[in-house]
Amino acid sequence: MAAATPLSSLRIAVIHGGPSAEAEVSRVSAAGVAAALVKKGHDVTRFELDEALPGKLVHAKPELVFPVVHGTVGEDGCLQGVLELLRLPYVGAGVLASALANDKVQAKVCFRAAGLPVADELVLRRDGSIEMLAERAFGLSASLVVKPATQGSGLGVTLLPDLESARDERLRAALDAAFALDEAVLVERFHRGREITCGVLHLHGEAPRALPPTEIRARAADWYDFQSRYGKGGSEHLCPAPLGPLTTARVQEVALGAHRALGVRDLSRCDFVVNDTEVILLEVNTIPGMTPTSLFPEAAGVAGTSFEDLCDALARSALARGVRRVNAAAPFPT
So which residues are the catalytic ones?
22, 153, 230, 269, 271, 283, 285, 289
Burial class of residue 329, CB neighbours in 10 A (0-12, 13-18, 19+): exposed
The interface region with ligand ADP, picked from 94-102, 151-159, 162-170, 296-304 by CB under 6 A, is: 151-159
The interface region with ligand ADP, picked from 126-134, 190-198, 230-238, 311-319 by CB under 6 A, is: 190-198
156 sits in which H/E element: none
Beta-carbon neighbour count of residue 279 at 10 Å? 22
Which residues on neighbouring strands pair with residue 16, listed in sequence order?
A: 48
Out of 188, 215, 266, 298, the residue judged to bind ligand ADP by CB under 6 A: 188
Residue 187 as a binder of ligand ADP (CB under 6 A): the answer is: no
Beta-carbon neighbour count of residue 249 at 10 Å? 13
Beta-carbon neighbour count of residue 180 at 10 Å? 9
Beta-carbon neighbour count of residue 194 at 10 Å? 17
CB of 231 to Mg ion, least distance (A): 16
Residue 146 as a binder of ligand ADP (CB under 6 A): the answer is: no
Look at residue 65 and give its three-state secondary structure: strand
Nearer to ligand ADP, 7 or 218 (CB): 218
Q: Are 12 and 65 in contact (CB under 8 A)?
A: yes
The interface region with ligand ADP, picked from 49-57, 143-151, 177-185, 307-315 by CB under 6 A, is: 143-151
**From the list Mg ion, ligand ADP, none, which binds 178 (C-beta under 5 to 8 Å, kind-based)?**
none
Out of 119, 196, 200, 241, the residue judged to bind ligand ADP by CB under 6 A: 119
Sign of CA dihedral 148, 149, 153, 157: positive
**From the list ligand ADP, Mg ion, none, which binds 153 (C-beta under 5 to 8 Å, kind-based)?**
ligand ADP
The whole-angstrom separation of Cα 270 and Cα 312 is 22
Out of 94, 154, 199, 297, the residue judged to bind ligand ADP by CB under 6 A: 154
The whole-angstrom separation of Cα 311 and Cα 137 is 42
**From the list Mg ion, ligand ADP, none, which binds 188 (C-beta under 5 to 8 Å, kind-based)?**
ligand ADP
Burial class of residue 290, CB neighbours in 10 A (0-12, 13-18, 19+): buried
Task: Report the residue closest to Mg ion, judged by CB.
Answer: 271
The interface region with ligand ADP, picked from 11-19, 81-89, 185-193, 241-249 by CB under 6 A, is: 185-193
Q: Are 240 and 249 in contact (CB under 8 A)?
A: no
The whole-angstrom separation of Cα 44 and Cα 216 is 32
Contact string (CB under 6 A) for ligand ADP, positions 279-318, x = contact: ---xx-----------------------------------
Out of 97, 273, 274, 279, the residue judged to bind ligand ADP by CB under 6 A: 273
The whole-angstrom separation of Cα 93 and Cα 101 is 9
Nearer to ligand ADP, 53 or 280 (CB): 280
Residues that bind ligand ADP (CB under 6 A): 119, 145, 147, 151-154, 157, 159, 188, 190-191, 195, 223-224, 271, 273, 282-283
